[in-house]
Amino acid sequence: MASITTNTPPPPAAPAPALRRKSTGRAGDKVFLGLSRGSGILLLVLMASIAIFLSVRAGMAISKDEGNFLTTFDWDPAAQKPVFGIAVLLFGTVVSSIIAMVIAVPIAVGIALFISHYAPRKLAAPLAYVVDLLAAVPSIIYGIWGALVLVPYLEGLNSWLDEYLGWTYVFEKTEVGVARSLFTVGILLAIMILPIVTSVSREVFLQVPRMNEEAALALGATRWEVIRMSVLPFGRSGIISASMLGLGRALGETMAVATVLSPSYLISLHLLNPGGGTFAQNIAAKFDEANQLGRDALIASGLVLFVLTLLVNGAARLIIARRKEYSGANA
Amino acid sequence: MAKRIDVSGLTAYYSSHKAIEDISMTVEPRSVTAFIGPSGCGKSTFLRTLNRMHEVTPGGRVEGKVLLDDENLYGKDVDPVAVRRTVGMVFQRPNPFPTMSIFDNVAAGLRLNGSYKKNQLADVVEKSLKGANLWNEVKDRLNKPGSGLSGGQQQRLCIARAIAVEPDVLLMDEPCSALDPISTLAIEDLIGELKERFTIVIVTHNMQQAARVSDRTAFFNLAAVGQPGRLIEIDETERIFSNPSVQATEDYISGRFG
């Protein structure tokens, strides 16, 4: 940025009366300053109170836990000797979200590139609109659709995976039963986060400066090479942010998971077997019928989800910041 | 391998708007040809038809012929991507790839072509950076991002990137308009050296620059706003600036309009 220096004349010793008169915008400035500062403070207070509430209740629960809160494979806070641990929930949440990301991010980036760089304009606008509409579908609808349509439909895919990829252990199906598994939940979550990842990536791809793309074109790059040389490097941090938004939704998704999964308190690497659980699904399923300690225990598991989300976001920011020197931002 | 450009009856459109009409001219190899004219007269559009970049703009299309030696760039089976590999371009604002290092920027074109040997790459990069008078300033930081250089250095980096693939023609679209006078001078000196090897076409708003760097000058004008731009005349630069054959050229050169 070039700075412009001008020779301003020194201010007169006694300003003319006109300069001393208060400008009429002052009142507006003060009101706006108060409002914006107030909202900022309110946000911090809210965050702090949520964190305090979660920590206090979680602390109360964990101190009464007779098992190990991190490693116990059981959830029975109502027992004589209350035991509960989050290992199964952590596993289920992370695994289903990873499956969702692995499926959704490449497809979303592909759709976003198609809309921003390949599709003719007449097709791009309606397509973008439809993708945005998908984001507006309530998650319970996805859940019902998943349970009634996706689950039966996936049985074919599951037996195919079992037959040809069963040797990987992960895709070996050892239990009979409908496909109410973590794998199915992952696919459903992938469909649910697809719109948000797509529309954020698309926005970023559309912001690639024209001159960056022309630089590649003028060197004799094909359309795909332009995307590889100019669009994807520029959009890299945007894709990461978009994925994190999607991951945030996948980690916390409740209704759809609760509708599709047939929960069990077990960890199994056979992802096609029914069973497993996630933090949000577990809280939704058990909160109503829990006693005081049970609710505190569920809140403690919620705190772990909260921390997990914070860690994931922090990691994403680190990735983005590490290559800042090379980012499109300082072009 | 500098080549001659022969344009005949070239008309270019943006959708239904006719931007330039019926332009014919010859650009000599191993020389600098400057395009001058008021804003909106279509000189940049015309330049972009010479490497088929015009049609990249939505709605852009071209009628007419552009012969590079004897090959028509708008021939039936000609691949625009291949055209752009033989006709290099330098833009108004320096546009190095922001995510690439200085080395990778220069090597980008070679990597696209795929026709290089690993150990050649470093040699070509060095030769191109030397060719762009940038080597001494960057040889110790080839792995740093190109976007960290000054504007003038970035523009020379873009020139190095363009000449690394040994194009037949080098097109420059107001390459100095975003640069300070010292960087401008460096680029102008460089153009003088590059014309030994390439056919150079430069669009410029700066008439002194046209007079300084070019061998031949083409003057473009438009009858009125919204009318297509036309080539008024093309001649030896000396003649254009001393004794042009068309009155409109003289009026523009002497500052009576534009």
Residue with the larger pLDDT of the pair A331 and B147: B147
What is the spatial distance between Cα A300 and Cα A69, in angstroms, rounded to a whole number? 9
Query: What's the gap in Å between the CA of B73 and the closest CA on chain A?
Result: 14
Query: What's the gap in Å between the CA of B169 and the closest CA on chain A?
Result: 12
A13 contact B CB<8A: no
On average, the pLDDT of chain B sits at: 92
Residue with the larger pLDDT of the pair A284 and A22: A284
Total number of domains in chain A: 1
Q: Are A259 and A251 in contact (CB under 8 A)?
A: no
What is the spatial distance between Cα A212 and Cα B94, in angstroms, rounded to a whole number? 10
Best mutation target among B53, B89, B95, B144 (most A Cβ atoms within 10 Å) is: B95
What is the spatial distance between Cα A103 and Cα A230, in angstroms, rounded to a whole number? 24
Scan residues 102-161 of A and list those with Cβ closer than 8 Å to B: 121
A206 contact B CB<8A: no
For residue A13, what pLDDT is reported? Answer: 58
A186 within a domain of the structure (yes/no): yes
Q: Tell me the per-residue pLDDT of B49-95, one tens digit each, with 9 for 90 and over.
A: 999 999 998 889 999 999 999 899 999 899 999 999 999 999 999 99
Q: Where are the domains of chain B?
A: 5-96+168-253
Mean pLDDT over B117-133 rounds to 89
With H, G, I as helix, E, B as strand and everything else as coil, classify residue B29: coil
For the beta carbon of residue B226, count every other beta carbon within 10 angstroms.
9
Categorize the per-residue pLDDT at A330 as very low, low, confident or very high, splitting at 50, 70 and 90. Answer: very low
A17 within a domain of the structure (yes/no): no
The CATH architecture of the domain made up of B5-96+168-253 is 3-Layer(aba) Sandwich (3.40)
- Tell me which residue has tokens 């220069």: B106
Query: What's the gap in Å between the CA of A108 and the closest CA on chain B?
Result: 23
Least confident interval from A20-34, A193-207, B131-145, B236-250: A20-34
A33 within a domain of the structure (yes/no): no
Does A218 contact B147 at a Cβ distance shorter than 8 Å?
no
Q: Tell me the per-residue pLDDT of A69-87, one tens digit each, with 9 for 90 and over.
A: 888 888 988 888 888 999 9
B96 contacts in chain A (CB < 8 Å): 215, 331
Does B97 contact A211 at a Cβ distance shorter than 8 Å?
no
For residue B219, what pLDDT is reported? Answer: 95
Q: How many CB pairs under 8 A join A and B?
A: 80
Angle A209-B47-B75 (CA atoms, 0-180°, nearest 5)?
105
For residue A8, what pLDDT is reported? Answer: 54
Q: Are A290 and A78 in contact (CB under 8 A)?
A: yes
A49 within a domain of the structure (yes/no): no
Q: Are B4 and B26 in contact (CB under 8 A)?
A: yes
Categorize the per-residue pLDDT at A314 as very low, low, confident or very high, splitting at 50, 70 and 90. Answer: confident
Mean pLDDT over B106-112 rounds to 90
For residue A323, what pLDDT is reported? Answer: 60
Selection from A164, A157, A170 nearest residue A270 by Cα: A170
A98 within a domain of the structure (yes/no): yes
Categorize the per-residue pLDDT at A14 as very low, low, confident or very high, splitting at 50, 70 and 90. Answer: low
Categorize the per-residue pLDDT at A24 as very low, low, confident or very high, splitting at 50, 70 and 90. Answer: low
* Alpha carbons within 13 A on the beta-carbon side of A325: 10
Categorize the per-residue pLDDT at A232 as very low, low, confident or very high, splitting at 50, 70 and 90. Answer: very high
Task: Report the phi/psi class of residue B106: left, alpha or beta, with left for phi > 0 and alpha for psi in -120 to 50.
Answer: alpha
B56 contacts in chain A (CB < 8 Å): 214, 217
A309 within a domain of the structure (yes/no): no
A219 contact B CB<8A: yes
Q: Tell me the per-residue pLDDT of A182-191, one tens digit each, with 9 for 90 and over.
A: 999 999 999 9
Query: What's the gap in Å between the CA of B115 and the closest CA on chain A?
Result: 13
Q: Can you name the residues that pair with B233 across neighbouring β-strands?
A: B219
A230 contact B CB<8A: yes
Q: Tell me the per-residue pLDDT of B152-170, one tens digit each, with 9 for 90 and over.
A: 999 999 999 999 998 999 9
For residue A237, what pLDDT is reported? Answer: 86
A218 contact B CB<8A: yes
Name the residue facing A229 among B51, B108, B113 (closest C-beta).
B108
- The domain spanning residue A215 has which CATH number? 1.10.3720.10
Selection from B253, B256, B142 nearest residue B206 by Cα: B253
Residues of B with CB under 8 A from a CB of A: 51, 53, 56, 58, 81-85, 88-89, 91, 93, 95-100, 108-109, 112-113, 145, 147-148, 158, 161-162, 165
**Domain carrying residue A139:** 94-278
Q: Are B2 and B163 in contact (CB under 8 A)?
A: no
Q: Is a pLDDT exceeding 90 seen at residue A170?
A: no
Mean pLDDT over A59-78 rounds to 89
For the beta carbon of residue A1, count every other beta carbon within 10 angstroms.
3
A5 within a domain of the structure (yes/no): no
On average, the pLDDT of chain A sits at: 87
For the beta carbon of residue A96, count every other beta carbon within 10 angstroms.
30
For residue A23, what pLDDT is reported? Answer: 59
Query: What's the gap in Å between the CA of A134 and the closest CA on chain B?
Result: 29
Q: Are A199 and A113 in contact (CB under 8 A)?
A: no
A83 within a domain of the structure (yes/no): no
What is the spatial distance between Cα B1 and Cα B168, in angstroms, rounded to a whole number? 5
Percent of chain B surpassing pLDDT 90: 79
Categorize the per-residue pLDDT at A11 as very low, low, confident or very high, splitting at 50, 70 and 90. Answer: low
What is the spatial distance between Cα B199 and Cα A136, in angstroms, rounded to a whole number? 57
Residue in A closest to B110 by C-alpha: A219
